[in-house]
Structure 1
Amino acid sequence: MFAGQVLPYPSSNLALDVLLLFLLLGIEISRIYFAWKGNLTERGVPLTLALGLVVPCVLLSVYLLLWQTYVLRAEVIISSILLVFLGLEAVLSCLAIATFAK
């Protein structure tokens, strides 16, 4: 993390921010896998799991956008783009689940 090297960062806050960043990475990988699998197999269950994983991704993205110790401009831009894509994916996942359920 750039902020941890350049800015005076309390070590407990740095550990929490890094932990939450890696947690977001793990959830994002799982979410993308379930969405990919559900779309390829045209089944609603993996897409529903992916849709359920959108909620923790949004919460972690909002944390990175607003509440981490130092919020850099690049992080604001990246987190905002991520939130837009998560919202778009949630809408499209709902449409796909409705289509596959028919």
Structure 2
Amino acid sequence: MAAVRRGGTSLVLSSLLLQMLFYVNGVYYIFYFLATLTMIVYKSQVFSYPDDFLAPDLLVLFIMAILEVPRLYFGSKGNLTEEEAPLGLSLALTLGSVVLAVYFLVWQTYVLRADVILNALLLSTYGLESGLKVMAIAAFVS
């Protein structure tokens, strides 16, 4: 962590709450990915899931997983090093993740109640994380 010296005291600007949220979000996303993948397989077996829609739903899920890794990495790196560029990049990647989560909440072929719960929780953590990122970036810039 970088510290700013002002008047003989060290001032740490990185956010502990944001760092903890990165960790929790990383663990939750593993659960989210596995649960969503399981539900897609379940829906393809139980419902008349059109074959033309199965591949795009799986593709979106895997793109979302690939996007999650740099999103968490840059966010954590930016917060710990107190640099606004990686944190800003993480914020931009979060917007992409939000769009994909909304896809699973609203636009996928079949939306189960479990999908709604999983995505609502994911979107809530994204919202909280984004607000903390903006506050951290503002603290780093000032």
Give the whole-Å Cα distance in 2 for the aligned partners of 1:21 and 1:49.
21
Is 1:51 the counterpart of 2:103 in the alignment? no
Is 1:84 the counterpart of 2:84 in the alignment? no
Higher helix proportion, which one?
A: 1
Give the whole-Å Cα distance in 2 for the aligned partners of 1:50 and 1:38.
8
Other structure's SS at 2:137 match: helix
TM-score, normalised by the number of residues in structure 1: 0.94
Deviation at 1:29, TM superposition (A): 1.6
Please tell me whether Structure 1 or Structure 2 has the larger radius of gyration of its CA atoms: 2
Give the whole-Å Cα distance in 2 for the aligned partners of 1:28 and 1:14.
21
Q: Which aligned runs of 4 or more in structure 1 are off by greater than 4 angstroms?
A: none
Deviation at 1:5, TM superposition (A): 2.2
Partner of 1:23: 63
Q: Percent identity?
A: 49
Given the alignment, which residue of 96, 108, 121 partners 1:68? Answer: 108
Deviation at 1:7, TM superposition (A): 1.5
1:14-67 C-alpha deviation (Å, 9 max, x unpaired):
000000011111111211111111111111110000000111111111110011
Give the whole-Å Cα distance in 2 for the aligned partners of 1:37 and 1:82.
21
